[in-house]
Amino acid sequence: MSHIERRQREKEETRSKILDAAREIAAKEGWQAVTIRRIADKVEYTPPIVYEYFDNKEDLLKGLVYSGFEIIRKQFTEASQTESDPKRLMTKISLIFLDFALEHKELFQLMFHLERTAPNETMRSIMELMKSTMTKISGKDEKTVWELIFAFLCLCHGAISFNLRSDKDHPHMKDFHGLYVRMVERYINSI
């Protein structure tokens, strides 16, 4: 491995370490507790080192948002390669959203509840996969397909957000996963 390749790998590892530290702080104390200084302390670097990777806190949060969408994109792509039925694929996509939200609660909140980050190639890739799948299901024109995707995302996001903030002991919430799948399948089958 050349010096340049090793240096590039080290930079990527440091960047990942910084993002991981931000996620850990947010998981314990919320996003308001995430500061460049706190991150630097956690990774045992000085704040100027963190600023070599991110211009400011907003830039760091944007990096986190993009990393979250990259996780989702990879899972969507894997699902699309193993599932040929478009209706089942849309159900799998909805479950990828749900599982991501439950596994990465703080990151999900950052991605979907804070100020919107400008779309990047990863986000566009996610939407194109959904567009292609929804077109196969509906056979509708592009405008209608985007409306169907919007409704699908509202259903998924609304249910997930409600679940994250609800009383888990409520009788209707004990089988949230089953309820969620039934709602999504009902919507998809209505198209």
Using the structure block, give the residue that is written with the tokens 């599982």: 99
pLDDT band at 118 (very low <50, low <70, confident <90, very high): low
Distance CA 115, CA 191 (A): 31
Contact present, 80 and 89 (Cβ < 8 Å): yes
48 and 67 fall within a common domain: no
| Mean predicted confidence (pLDDT) in 104-132 | 85
Is it the case that residue 114 has pLDDT exceeding 70?
Answer: no
CATH number at residue 44: 1.10.10.60
| Mean predicted confidence (pLDDT) in 163-172 | 80
Distance CA 33, CA 129 (A): 35
96 and 177 fall within a common domain: yes
pLDDT band at 165 (very low <50, low <70, confident <90, very high): confident
42 and 77 fall within a common domain: no
The DSSP letter of residue 175 is: T
87 and 47 fall within a common domain: no
184 and 94 fall within a common domain: yes
Contact present, 99 and 76 (Cβ < 8 Å): no
